[in-house]
Amino acid sequence: MDLTQTIFEVIDMRSFSNLWFWIALAVLWSTASHWVMGVPWDLISRARRKGGTAEHDVAELVRIYTTRILYVSEVSGLVLIVLVSFTLTTLAVLGFGYDVEFAQAVFLLVLPMSIVGALSVRTAYKFKADWPEGQTLYRKLHHHRMLVQFIGMVSIFVTTMWGMFQNFSIGVLGG
């Protein structure tokens, strides 16, 4: 048995039957819903309840991350759109056209996150237009978080159904 064969046996490139893929999926969406426009949700909750320095910190972090997102969007937005489109198209063709399971798995992780990225850019432009404060800011951050969580739920559902279909097909049909 050579080293390459041993590595592929340990890693198991069949993504949907690999525990690490499902852990990565859970961590990805947990992290995405915890960090709302660059601000940790627990800080937003604390600011909503207690105010004070937490309220100031949330407002400053939102301002910093909104400015940062808009800068990246304006400076290299077109290049990012082209690269993300190319990557998603490549993954879709490899995954679903040529039946490469690893590409399918990465596509099912990257596509919804690119939607979340676009949503964050849209929210940043809305924040720049009127720089909300206090309860208005918290309501808008909460709305953004709910949209991210909805995208996450749909993504997890679709990924789970596709993964079960792949595992069933490979198990029953033999590959």
pLDDT at 61: 97
Question: Contact 113/32 with Cβ under 8 angstroms?
Answer: yes
Question: What mean pLDDT do residues 122-145 have?
Answer: 96
Is 13 inside any structural domain?
no
Q: Which of 3-7, 76-80, 158-162 has the lowest mean pLDDT?
A: 3-7
Of residues 60 and 1, the one with the higher pLDDT is: 60
How confident is the model over 14-64, as pLDDT tens digits? 789 888 899 999 999 999 999 999 999 999 999 999 999 999 999 999 999
Is 94 inside any structural domain?
yes
Distance CA 106, CA 22 (A): 12
pLDDT at 8 over 70: no
DSSP state letters, 85-106: HHHHHHHHIIIIIS--HHHHHH
How confident is the model over 142-154, as pLDDT tens digits? 999 999 999 999 9
Distance CA 120, CA 144 (A): 8
Percent of the chain at pLDDT exceeding 90: 83
Q: Which domain holds residue 133?
A: 50-169
Query: Of the candidates 22, 4, 11, which has an alpha carbon nearest to the alpha carbon of residue 162?
Result: 22
Q: What is the mean pLDDT of the chain?
A: 93
Is 150 inside any structural domain?
yes
Question: Contact 128/1 with Cβ under 8 angstroms?
Answer: no
pLDDT at 136: 97
Distance CA 137, CA 143 (A): 10
Is 114 inside any structural domain?
yes
Is 14 inside any structural domain?
no
Buried b (16+ CB within 10 A) or exposed e, 103-133: bbbbbbbbbbbbebbeebbebbeebeeeebe
Structural domain count, the chain: 1
